[in-house]
Amino acid sequence: MDHNVYLLATDPKNACRDVIHSRDTALKIRVFCLSEERFSPHENEIQLYGYANSKLYAFETINIVAEDALDVVGAIQWYADYMDCPEMEILPDDPRPGQNIAM
């Protein structure tokens, strides 16, 4: 199994605005801290969710292409390790009450 190398772009003005980049593919994933900012899912992108360090995060791809879709979970797992939260469960739907669930 190939192991992708991921890089992290951070926003110095917003600690919750990270973007995960794959070094070897076009995969990019935007990270949102749902307790600190609004999030409106884009219908043409993949969204996944996870709790880390008592905060809920949303992960949304940026201009996803079919060949990168299988790497999304691996990139989020890498980010969880980076945040020192390797046990983070990756969720397919927004777990907050009253949120729309993708069908």
Interval 19-64: pLDDT, tens: 999 999 999 999 999 988 888 999 999 999 999 888 999 999 999 9
Whether the pLDDT of residue 89 is over 80: the answer is: yes
What pLDDT was estimated at residue 2?
58
Interacting residues of 55 by C-beta distance below 8 A, sequence separation 6+: 33, 34, 35
SS3 69: helix
Please determine, for residue 6, whether its predicted confidence score (pLDDT) is greater than 90. yes
